[in-house]
């Protein structure tokens, strides 16, 4: 114990009080003390406060976030607002900063066209210099969390140091507290750690000033991430996308998966069972709306860990316990569960929305837009323009709410189950106006990995640049994959093949359009695809085998549409939605090939799938002499 204590003598007693010191010593972990010592000396906060699992400590964080102005109370009890910088500052902090998020790679190790890397020595030197004195005048919070349920084989402990009370409060909503779990580490260094600082603050509310020096550096060697001069959760919260990158590294060196998946409990009518499905979708491709389907239960909406389990299934856990959800378009009709939760008293942090008379407003909330208020540009009124003369919307398109899953009426009962839940299937979805059918089941596991690896999303008018350009988004995870893609694909292949009950894989596409650019499906049709997939995973439906995968039979969909949506699904609709668009599929295959040719040593199974699919499609073309082949031809 004395050895451990000696480690802390660098920290002035004006900076850390005896109570906080005692809380640190009680962990009996020299690694934690070393980290605290090192980064307190470097970042030089004026105060260090250690937070345990006690309610008193947790309440302290919530209060301090309001006292220092990082959050402000709203009219409904428990609701607060936080802003991540202001667009009038000339730069913004309302989304993930891909350019300044880099993996520290030791000399001679891999380079990749997809991964933003920097030489480890050089990167460390740069960020440690930026961090010198970065917490000056601020209070640094030391907190302990668990990624995944407590007492679970899946879970990884995480230590967070941050001078942002908003970051700490958000993590309290989103993750499980684990100070007591750190005691059980028995002095080991088996945990991730995250050092975050908002850096110098400016204005009221206080926001990061030096965004030009925003850096997020991922150090796989030490299982840590250093993040400075930012507040947006995707950049600042250690446990969210920063930990996902460390977990992907670990999973790919072991025998499990760390994925950008939601977890959904599917409850088919009259069958008295629940089957769990994961899903990966790029932004704005229907991830949340699938995870929140009416009549089903949500276990997670962002990040999952999967492991092979004794029962022969893969089991999956949500490493989070809350949602950091996009609030745009949340309205009472389309998102009743979320709407109910975020408009009634409970603990919620809103970020980057418009506030008028202590009430939050956002794009697509179905309410009249107030004439003025405070938003991500500061004081705002209707018609306000930015420097380029473009109208500033009343709320940021990436404005968010932070909320515990248990606050939702559709929360799944297994959220905290340390054994996770058995996985029946995986959905991969993209945004595609003219190629893939609404739902397609993979021919086998390898083909399923290929379906995930070939997700594409089309750019929309909501983003700058050309509309309709297809961007490849393997497993909707490319932003976070820190190992070579070939290794990631090999790990997926091995994982599925090690299972006795391999999950079925489905590609979904909610965005098919006809010649007149009208969507071929309604918003809720996805419920029928999901229920069909669930039935397939239990052998309830037959399917039609096509060269690109299995598609549903018309009769089954007709029944499902009637039962679940009260809709008459016509044969014409089916024929249009499920035709096999041979020429377009061949073009998609070409794009995928082009992408993967940039990567060295892509595993053989991937090219086998690609070559088989190409050959089958070419044969079809020759046989039918047509671009699009009706589904009935494959019966
Ligand atoms: C995403 O962008 O995938 C999110 C939000 O879930 S963020 O925390 O920014 O990663
Ligand atoms: Mn995400």
Looking at ligand 1, which residue's alpha carbon is closest to its atom 9? 234
CA-CA-CA-CA torsion sign (174, 176, 179, 184): negative
CB-ligand 1 contact for 478 (6 Å cutoff): no
241 Cβ below 6 A of ligand 1: yes
Find all residues with CB under 8 Å of 251, minimum gap 6, and list them: 257, 258, 305, 491
- d(CA 557, CA 366) in angstroms, rounded, equals 32
pLDDT of res. 461: 64
Atom of ligand 1 nearest to the CA of 260: 3
Fold of 258-321+415-579: Phosphoenolpyruvate Carboxykinase; domain 3 (3.90.228)
Instruction: Supply 9's token pair.
Output: 């003598």
pLDDT computed for residue 190 by the predictor: 98
pLDDT value at residue 558: 98
The mean per-residue pLDDT over the stretch 313-326 comes to: 97
Q: Is the CB of 240 under 6 A from ligand 1?
A: yes
Best of 231, 239, 241 for a ligand 1 pocket test (most atoms within 8 Å of beta carbon):
241
The model's confidence at residue 2, banded by pLDDT at 50, 70 and 90, is: low
pLDDT band at 585 (very low <50, low <70, confident <90, very high): very high
Q: What confidence tens digit (pLDDT) does each residue in 487-518 have?
A: 999 999 999 999 999 999 999 999 999 999 99
Nearest ligand to residue 400 Cα: 1
pLDDT of residue 87: 78
Q: List the CATH code of the domain at 324-407.
A: 2.170.8.10
Give the residue-averaged pLDDT of 91-107. 91
From ligand 1's centre to the CA of 580, what distance in Å?
33
**Confidence class of residue 621 from pLDDT cuts 50, 70 and 90?**
very high
**Nearest ligand to the C-alpha of residue 260?**
2
Instruction: Please give the pLDDT value at position 465.
Output: 66
- Mean of pLDDT values over 103-113: 87
Query: Is any atom of ligand 1 closer than 6 Å to the C-beta of 326?
Result: no
For ligand 1, atom 6, which residue shows the shortest CA distance? 302
Confidence of residue 3 (pLDDT cuts 50, 70, 90): low
Asked if pLDDT for residue 9 goes beyond 70, the answer is: no
pLDDT of residue 468: 81
Q: 2-68+94-251 maps to which CATH number?
A: 3.40.449.10
Kindly report the CA angle at 240 between 236 and 488, in degrees rounded to 5?
120
The pLDDT of 248-252, averaged and rounded, is 98
Per residue in 33-70, pLDDT (tens digit) is 999 999 999 999 999 999 999 999 999 999 999 999 99
User: From the CB of 322, is ligand 1 less than 6 Å away?
Assistant: no
Model pLDDT for residues 522-565, shown as the tens digit of each residue: 999 999 999 999 999 999 999 999 999 999 999 999 999 999 99
Within 8 A by CB and 6+ apart from 286, the residues are 429, 508, 510, 526
Average pLDDT, the chain: 95
* CB-count exposure of residue 615 (10 Å: 0-12, 13-18, 19+): exposed
Q: Do the domains spanning 2-68+94-251 and 324-407 agree at the CATH topology level? A: no
Cα torsion 457, 459, 461, 463: sign: positive
Reported as a pLDDT band with limits 50, 70 and 90, residue 110 is: confident
Banded pLDDT at 367 (limits 50, 70, 90): very high
Residues 6+ apart with CB under 8 A from 6: none
176 touches ligand 1 (CB under 6 Å): no
302 Cα to the center of ligand 2, angstroms:
5
- Contacts of residues 566-573 at CB distance under 8 Å and 24 or more positions apart, as own/partner, are 567/522, 569/528, 573/520
Query: What is the CB neighbour count within 10 angstroms for residue 10?
Result: 12
For the cut 80, the answer to whether the pLDDT of residue 446 exceeds it is: yes
- Read off φ and ψ for residue 388, nearest 5 degrees: -90, 5
Tens digit of pLDDT for each residue in 294-309? 999 999 999 999 999 9
% residues pLDDT > 70 (the chain)? 97
What is the CA(234)–ligand 1 centre distance, in A?
A: 5
Query: What does the DSSP 8-state code read for residue 502?
Result: P
Confidence of residue 356 (pLDDT cuts 50, 70, 90): very high
Contacts of 156 (CB under 8 A, 6+ apart): 146, 147, 148, 190, 191, 192, 243, 247, 250, 319
Q: How far apart are CA 384 and CA 392, in angstroms?
A: 6
User: From the CA of 435, how far away is ligand 1's center (Å)?
Assistant: 27
> Where does the pLDDT of residue 1 fall: very low under 50, low under 70, confident under 90, or very high at 90 and above?
low
205 C-beta neighbours (distance < 10 Å), count: 19
Count how many residues are written for the chain. 635
pLDDT per residue as tens digits for the range 175-225: 999 999 999 999 999 999 999 999 999 999 999 999 999 999 999 999 999
| Residue 371, SS3 per DSSP | coil
CB-based neighbours (< 5 A) of ligand 2, an ion: 302
Instruction: Give pLDDT, residue 5.
Output: 61
pLDDT at 298: 98
Are 208 and 198 in contact, with CB atoms under 8 Å apart? yes
Domain extents for the chain? 2-68+94-251, 258-321+415-579, 324-407
**Residue 173 CA to ligand 2 centre (angstroms):** 16
| pLDDT per residue as tens digits for the range 371-386 | 999 999 999 999 999 8
- Ligand 1 pocket check for 96: Cβ under 6 Å: yes
Query: What is the CA(242)–ligand 2 centre distance, in A?
Result: 11
Give the pLDDT of residue 463: 59
The model's pTM:
0.97
Nearest one of 172, 114, 134 to 41, comparing CA atoms:
134
Mind listing the pLDDT tens digit for each residue in 139-160?
999 999 999 999 999 999 999 9
Residues with a known catalytic role: 285
In the structure, what pLDDT confidence band is assigned to residue 464 with cuts at 50, 70 and 90?
low
Residue 205, preceding bond cis, omega within 30 degrees?
Answer: yes
Q: Which has more confidence, 411 or 112? A: 411
Closest of 535, 549, 541, 320 to residue 440, by C-alpha: 549
d(CA 416, CA 413): 8
Contact (CB, 8 A) for 470 and 458? yes
């Amino acid at each position: 114990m004395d050895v451990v204590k000696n480690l802390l003598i660098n920290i002035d007693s004006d900076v850390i009080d005896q109570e906080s010191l005692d809380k640190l010593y009680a962990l009996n972990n020299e690694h934690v003390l070393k980290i605290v010592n090192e980064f307190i000396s470097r970042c030089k906060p004026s105060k260090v406060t250690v937070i345990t699992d006690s309610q008193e400590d947790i309440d302290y964080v919530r209060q301090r976030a309001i006292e220092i102005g990082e959050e402000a109370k709203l009219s409904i009890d428990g609701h607060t607002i936080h802003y991540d910088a202001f667009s009038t500052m000339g730069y913004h902090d309302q989304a993930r900063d891909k350019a300044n998020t880099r993996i520290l790679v030791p000399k001679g190790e891999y380079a990749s066209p997809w991964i933003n890397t920097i030489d480890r020595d050089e990167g460390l030197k740069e960020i440690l210099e930026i961090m010198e004195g970065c917490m000056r005048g601020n209070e640094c919070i030391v907190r302990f969390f668990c990624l995944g349920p407590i007492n679970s084989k899946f879970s990884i402990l995480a230590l967070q140091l941050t001078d942002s009370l908003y970051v700490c409060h958000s993590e309290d909503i989103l993750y499980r507290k684990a100070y007591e779990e750190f005691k059980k580490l028995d002095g080991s260094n088996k945990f991730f750690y995250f050092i975050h600082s908002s850096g110098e603050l400016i204005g009221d509310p206080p926001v990061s000033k030096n965004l030009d020096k925003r850096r997020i550096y991922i150090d796989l060697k030490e299982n840590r991430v250093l993040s400075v001069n930012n507040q947006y959760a995707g950049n600042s919260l250690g446990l969210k996308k920063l930990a996902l990158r460390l977990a992907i590294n670990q999973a790919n060196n072991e025998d499990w998966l760390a994925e950008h998946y939601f977890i959904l409990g599917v409850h088919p009518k009259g069958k008295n069972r629940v089957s769990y499905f994961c899903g990966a979708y790029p932004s704005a491709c229907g991830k949340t709306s699938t995870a929140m389907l009416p009549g089903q239960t949500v276990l997670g909406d962002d990040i999952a860990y999967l492991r092979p389990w004794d029962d022969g299934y893969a089991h999956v856990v949500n490493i989070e316990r809350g949602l950091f959800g996009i609030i745009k378009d949340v309205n009472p009709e389309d998102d009743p569960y979320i709407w109910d939760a975020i408009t009634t008293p409970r603990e919620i942090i809103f970020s980057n929305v418009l506030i008028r008379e202590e009430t939050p407003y956002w794009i697509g909330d179905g309410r009249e837009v107030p004439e003025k208020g405070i938003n991500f540009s500061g004081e705002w009124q209707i018609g306000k323009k930015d420097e380029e003369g473009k109208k500033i919307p009343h709320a940021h398109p990436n404005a968010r709410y932070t909320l515990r899953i248990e606050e939702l009426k559709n929360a799944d009962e297994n959220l905290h189950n340390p054994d996770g839940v058995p996985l029946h299937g995986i959905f991969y979805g993209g945004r595609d106006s003219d190629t893939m059918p609404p739902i397609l089941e993979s021919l086998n596991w390898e083909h399923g990995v290929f379906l995930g690896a070939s997700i594409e999303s089309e750019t929309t008018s909501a983003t700058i640049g050309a509309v309709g350009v297809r961007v490849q988004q393997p497993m909707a995870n490319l932003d976070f994959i820190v190992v070579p893609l070939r290794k990631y694909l090999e790990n997926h292949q091995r994982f599925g093949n090690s299972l006795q009950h391999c999950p079925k894989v489905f590609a979904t596409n909610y965005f098919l359009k006809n010649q007149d650019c009208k969507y071929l499906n309604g918003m809720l049709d996805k419920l029928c695809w999901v229920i069909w997939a669930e039935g397939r995973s239990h052998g309830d439906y037959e399917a039609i085998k096509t060269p690109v995968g299995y598609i549903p039979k018309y009769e089954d969909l007709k029944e499902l549409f009637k039962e679940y949506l009260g809709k008459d699904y016509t044969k014409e609709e089916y024929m249009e939605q499920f035709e096999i668009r041979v020429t377009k599929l061949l073009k998609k295959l070409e794009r995928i090939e082009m992408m993967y040719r940039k990567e060295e040593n892509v595993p053989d199974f991937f090219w086998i799938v690609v070559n088989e699919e190409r050959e089958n499609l070419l044969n079809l073309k020759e046989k039918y002499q047509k671009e699009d082949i009706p589904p009935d031809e494959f019966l």
